[in-house]
């Protein structure tokens, strides 16, 4: 049903500032810009997925919904959009799984710079059925253009997106049994709780659980993103020169990996960078 993670959505109150911040972080230009549905949108398309920045535009109901979401949750990760090759079949399966999908709609956008047009079909599952994480499902007719690298030591791809849960068994049932993602890892540790990795294309949806942190009926939350880099030392030097606050490089949990934390310029998204072991995806 799911072939990959098409994109993640990050809400922001200032599309220009957010776009500039991510252009600095990624060392890549935006791949697509457009307005519609009460929002201004800037997309950065990397090697395996897209980050979509969304800011309210106008005064219609759609714009007010975006403003309401910003007022409620602040800037940061807002939703996941999974890619499928057959939206009609996906919709039927979501319905059978009682994920209460909305009717499939056809959407089109025109890039404000090139004038090119992209079209797709999508549906959305009910948020109460996906344990509080907003999830969309999309079938695209064309590939998006890649974001052009502006300098060396750019971000190459997403490594994983993190979801925190208070009920790991129900989360495992959702991402594994119901959405059909392959569970690649299920591990517990007394210091950092339980980790579950679900493969989604060549990246991972990481589900985390820390015992005692919240009630079991608390909703799941999108927590952060880890991006891949080829040379973490060069990337750190580039970001420091650009005025971005980053941590020291440290050894990652997976043997052979090196990681660092980005502490500014991410629109409130907790962000980690990883240099995979031997050049392979983490």
Q: Positive or negative CA dihedral for 136, 265, 228, 113?
A: positive
In degrees and rounded to multiples of 5, residue 160 shows phi and psi of -160, 155
Q: What is the pLDDT of residue 126?
A: 98
Measured at the CA of 199, the angle between CA 130 and CA 215, to 5 degrees, comes to: 40
Query: 273 pairs with which residues across the strands?
Result: 227, 260
Cα 64 from Cα 57, distance rounded (Å): 9
User: How far, CA to CA in Å, does 212 sit from each of 166, 218, 233?
Assistant: 8, 12, 37
In sequence order, which residues have a C-beta less than 8 Å from that of residue 134 and are 6 or more positions away?
Answer: 9, 78, 79, 80, 124, 127
Tell me if residue 24 falls in helix, strand or coil: helix
* 281 has pLDDT over 70: no
Contact 4, 49 (CB under 8 A): yes
* 43 has pLDDT over 90: yes
Token pair 């602040």 is found at 74
* 282 has pLDDT over 50: no
What is the average per-residue pLDDT within 199-204?
A: 96
In which band, very low, low, confident or very high, does the pLDDT at 214 lie, cut at 50, 70 and 90? low
What are the b/e assignments for 207-219, b being 16+ CB within 10 Å? bbbeeeeeeeeee
Q: What is the pLDDT of residue 165?
A: 96
Q: Is 106 exposed, middle or buried (0-12, 13-18, 19+ CB in 10 A)?
A: exposed
DSSP annotation of 173: I
Tell me the pLDDT of the chain averaged across its residues.
94
In which band, very low, low, confident or very high, does the pLDDT at 279 lie, cut at 50, 70 and 90? very low
Cα 275 from Cα 258, distance rounded (Å): 5
Contact 108, 101 (CB under 8 A): no
* 246 has pLDDT over 50: yes
Q: Which two tokens stand for residue 3?
A: 């072939």
Percent of the chain's residues with pLDDT above 70: 97
* 159 has pLDDT over 60: yes
């Amino acid at each position: 049903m799911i072939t990959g993670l098409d994109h993640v959505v990050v809400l922001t109150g200032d599309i220009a500032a957010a776009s500039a911040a991510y252009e600095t972080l990624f060392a890549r230009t935006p791949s697509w810009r457009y307005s519609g549905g009460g929002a201004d949108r800037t997309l950065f398309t990397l090697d395996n997925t897209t980050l979509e920045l969304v800011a309210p535009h106008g005064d219609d109901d759609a714009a007010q919904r975006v403003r309401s979401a910003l007022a409620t949750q602040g800037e940061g990760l807002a939703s996941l959009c999974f890619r499928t090759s057959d939206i009609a079949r996906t919709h039927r399966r979501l319905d059978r799984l009682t994920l209460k999908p909305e009717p499939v709609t056809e959407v089109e956008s025109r890039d404000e710079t090139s004038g090119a047009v992209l079209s797709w079909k999508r549906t959305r599952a009910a948020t109460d059925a996906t344990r509080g994480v907003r999830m969309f499902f999309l079938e695209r007719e064309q590939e998006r253009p890649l974001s052009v690298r502006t300098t060396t030591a750019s971000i190459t791809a997403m490594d994983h997106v993190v979801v925190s849960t208070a009920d790991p068994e129900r989360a495992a049932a959702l991402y594994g049994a119901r959405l059909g993602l392959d569970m690649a890892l299920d591990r517990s540790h007394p210091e950092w709780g339980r980790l579950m990795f679900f493969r989604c294309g060549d990246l991972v949806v990481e589900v985390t659980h820390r015992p005692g942190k919240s009630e079991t009926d608390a909703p799941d939350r999108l927590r952060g993103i880890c991006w891949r880099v080829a040379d973490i030392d060069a990337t750190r030097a580039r970001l420091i020169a650009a005025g971005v606050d980053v941590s020291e490089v440290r050894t990652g949990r997976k043997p052979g990996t090196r990681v660092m934390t980005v502490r500014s310029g991410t629109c409130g998204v907790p962000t980690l960078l990883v240099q995979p072991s031997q050049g392979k995806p983490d």
